[in-house]
Amino acid sequence: MSLIDSLPRRKAFSSEVDAGSREENASEHKSGAPFRSHRNGNSSSAPKLPKVDGLIPWIVPLAIVLVWQLACVTGFVPSRVLPAPTDVALAGWKLLLSGELIRNIWVSFWRASIGFVIGGGIGFAFGLANGLSQLSAKLTDTTLQMVRNIPHLALIPLVILWFGIDESAKLFLVALGVFFPIYLNTLHGIRTVDPQLIEMGRIYGMTDGELFRRVIFPGALPSIFVGLRFALGIMWLTLIVAETIAASSGLGYMAMQAREFMLIDVVVLSILIYALLGKLADSASRALERLTLSWHPAFQKK
């Protein structure tokens, strides 16, 4: 993949690449193609070396791990500050054997999913309703836009007072965090569907149901995916914070426990697992995107 090949597309989509802190607003100040292309989207690279090409993204992470290991082994970085990758792996192995790791990952994963489904589901429903119905939009949109300006993590003290450190506290926070990016981008997607296509659908006698299924929903899908990806990021972020502050299980709790006992390798392990889970969620949404948006020029193999 040559640099020159990848330049123009990167530039064209650059407004979406820089993800600020309130990322869910992103779709409001961009109107064109509302999502970012894939790093491997342009397959103009040498066709003779597909395998090597697939490995290129892993060169830098591998090099970092290698340097990290070297720095620890030579004593350049004291193990109190940062344990060697091998120590982290060892700690992971021990926790895996004791079953603790799987249990905590499972708890976190469960919280993330349930919170995401609840918040995303409600956000999607409101996005649909407000995108399709003027009345619904008039009734609820202003209120939702006002609530949106409260950073959901600022609610943590209140949420602890309401729910204690119960499961529902974490689910509530995740759901709230996920709600807005999904809501805003679904709404934006529906509102920006080409009105000429909607008119075309009506001319050709589509019923409201068909119009939604064949024109409005597919038209809104790229934007919905933008919301989905932002929501996944916010989902993990919220969960980390919530589990670190108020939990008695889960990855964040595992990290906090380890801190109390000065088990720095477990702390680093937790962070790495968070990163891995985040990457997995992102890859899953990208795969889904590629599958459902195969019609889009940005996803077509040339």
List residues binding another protein (CB under 8 A): 196-197, 199-201, 203-206, 214-215, 218-219, 221, 293-297, 300
Q: Which two tokens stand for residue 120?
A: 């995303």
According to DSSP, residue 207 is labeled -
Quote the least distance from Cβ 207 to another protein, whole Å.
Answer: 9
Quote the least distance from Cβ 216 to another protein, whole Å.
Answer: 11
Sequence-distant (6+) residues with CB within 8 A of 122 are: 175, 179, 183
According to DSSP, residue 37 is labeled P
Please enumerate, as own/partner, the contacts of 77-83 that have beta carbons within 8 Å and a separation of 24 or more.
79/264, 80/264, 81/264, 82/264, 82/268, 83/264, 83/265, 83/268
Quote the least distance from Cβ 202 to another protein, whole Å.
Answer: 9
Q: Please name the residue that has the structure tokens 């100040």.
A: 29
Quote the least distance from Cβ 33 to another protein, whole Å.
Answer: 11
**Residue number with CB closer to another protein (263 or 293):** 293
Tell me how far the alpha carbon of residue 162 is from its chain's centroid.
27
253: nearest Cα among 272, 264, 233, 239: 239
Spatial distance between the Cα atoms of 66 and 54, rounded to a whole number of angstroms: 20
**Residue number with CB closer to another protein (114 or 197):** 197
**Residue number with CB closer to another protein (93 or 204):** 204
Quote the least distance from Cβ 24 to another protein, whole Å.
Answer: 25
Quote the least distance from Cβ 229 to another protein, whole Å.
Answer: 19
105: nearest Cα among 283, 273, 282: 273
**Residue number with CB closer to another protein (190 or 245):** 190
Q: What are phi and psi of 31, to 5 degrees?
A: -120, -25
How many CB atoms are located within 10 Å of the residue 38 CB? 14
**Residue number with CB closer to another protein (191 or 214):** 214
**Residue number with CB closer to another protein (75 or 209):** 209
